[in-house]
Amino acid sequence: MKKLFLFTIMLSFVLTAQPAVAQKKLNVVTTIGQITDIVTIIGGENIEVTGLMGAGVDPHLYRASEGDVHILSKADVIFYNGLNLEAKLGKILAKMKRDKTIVALGESVPKNLLLDSEDYVGHSDPHVWFNVEHWSLVAQKISNVLIEKDPDHTADYQKNTDKLIARLKTLQTYVLNRSQELNKTQRVLVTAHDAFRYFGKKYDFEVVGLQGISTESEAGTKDVAELADFIAERKIKAIFIESSVPERNIKAVQEAVNARGWNVEIGGELFSDAMGDEGTVEGTYIGMITHNIDTIVGALK
Ligand SMILES: [Zn+2]
């Protein structure tokens, strides 16, 4: 009897010690870092995330390699920005639409909140992450999609999303407060391309880009001359490089302004369509937005 009892105990120990059959994690593939970062936060340990575009990569010009197509083909869910941001990926994603969940997050922002694009006929301006409130809506959309695909982890996804949205609210207040350190005439933001229109609208800056909404067409000498006239006339203190656009464009503008007798500084590097290096503060969405507003206000004040 004693032996049987011991055996039962041992058997139950062996049974409970067996690891539960490991559930396959959702395989999620993302494009720009701003999406990769918040998908990783919301998904936590329940998903595997592969981000295609690292630091310094320009999504307007990005072409998928054979390796990327393979990664995309293995995904359960693909999150991209859409609104023609990843212009060269469109065809590949359209082909995969039949057997995958593919979500254009920028297109999930209500139409009345989107800004028109003069460059992309029939499309809105894709740079929606520059309004922190819009990016909170995108976070909620990501959460909804993950819950739909993987309802077993609903509580985890909801908890992570609530925490993230609270942090984004704090970020929003920070950006608003810092921008109020500048007076109206100081609030002119000149950058390499028109990425900052959502930023300008929300935080009350006049924004001017050397190149248009996309970087696909190069800026010409006429564009440089016109922008230089504007900066010299308005006596703008600083202009900004973007990490995903060659800095020679903004340097050319600076030289042209100097030739007009006004010294304009390079106010620093902003993260527009790509984030900073992985593992740095600027390699996160909250970090890059904080870096940008600190750099802008620091240089224009
Ligand atoms: Zn852009």
26-171 classified as CATH 2.60.120.10: no
Report pLDDT for 121: 73
Q: How remote is the CA of residue 215 from the centroid of ligand 1, in Å? A: 7
Q: How remote is the CA of residue 194 from the centroid of ligand 1, in Å? A: 7
Report pLDDT for 122: 76
Residue-range domain boundaries for the chain: 26-171, 176-300
Q: Which amino acid is at 296?
A: I
Report pLDDT for 7: 52
Residues 226, 208: contact at Cβ < 8 Å?
no
Report pLDDT for 156: 98
Residues 129, 136: contact at Cβ < 8 Å?
no
pLDDT tens over the chain, length 301 residues: 455 555 555 555 545 554 555 678 999 999 999 999 999 999 999 999 999 999 999 999 999 999 999 999 999 999 999 999 999 998 899 899 888 999 999 999 999 999 998 777 778 999 999 999 999 999 999 999 999 999 999 999 999 999 999 999 999 999 999 999 999 999 999 999 999 999 999 999 999 999 998 998 888 899 999 999 999 999 999 999 999 999 999 999 999 999 999 999 999 999 999 999 999 999 999 999 999 999 999 999 9
Report pLDDT for 21: 59
Q: How remote is the CA of residue 199 from the centroid of ligand 1, in Å? A: 13
Q: How remote is the CA of residue 277 from the centroid of ligand 1, in Å? A: 18
Q: How remote is the CA of residue 159 from the centroid of ligand 1, in Å? A: 32
Q: How remote is the CA of residue 154 from the centroid of ligand 1, in Å? A: 34
Q: How remote is the CA of residue 76 from the centroid of ligand 1, in Å? A: 27
Q: Which amino acid is at 295?
A: T
Q: How remote is the CA of residue 214 from the centroid of ligand 1, in Å? A: 5
Residues 43, 49: contact at Cβ < 8 Å?
yes
| R_g over Cα of the chain | 24
Please give the CATH topology (third level) of the domain spanning 176-300: Rossmann fold (3.40.50)
